[in-house]
Amino acid sequence: MIGRLNHVAIVVPDLAVAASQYRGALGADVSDPQDLPDHGVTTIFVNLPNTKIELLHPFGEDSPIAGFLAKNPSGGMHHVCYEVDDIIAARDRLVTEGARVLGDGEPKTGAHGLPVLFLHPKDFSGTLIELEQAAS
């Protein structure tokens, strides 16, 4: 059911510093910051030949990752994102298998303009999973 790894997300305390490290020390192709108010994050993508790294920072007072950063002031890995061909069929199969979909269970538009869902980390060995509808 899951397809390719779309990205690994890392929460960072300072987006500019993190982007500079990836751009300078690692020589990576780094995107401009993008605010996603509906998700409560600002994101930057580090483009790699086989996947992406998503650098996340809280956006707004109600950011769902503010607590993560408070517990992990240096930042850290937050989630992995896998592509699926049909996000509704994937969601329905996962729910049938006993997985919990976070939020109201309906896909939201993610950073790439595609539908996304998040799965409860307790159902996947402590790892927060994001599913993203694969681009057609």
For residue 10, the cross-strand partners are 55, 77
Cα distances (angstroms) measured from residue 93 to each of 86, 88, 99, 105: 11, 9, 9, 13
Whether residue 83 lies in the annotated active site: no
- Kindly give, in sequence order, each residue whose CB lies less than 8 Å from that of residue 57, ignoring residues fewer than 6 positions away: 11, 12, 13, 14, 15, 41, 42, 43, 65, 69
Q: Of these residues, 54, 61, 106, 130, which one is catalytic?
A: 130
- CA pair distance 67, 61, nearest whole angstrom: 11
What torsion do the CA atoms of 115, 37, 120, 11 make, to the nearest 10 degrees?
Answer: 110
Count of alpha carbons within 13 angstroms of residue 37, beta-carbon side: 0
Question: So which residues are the catalytic ones?
Answer: 130
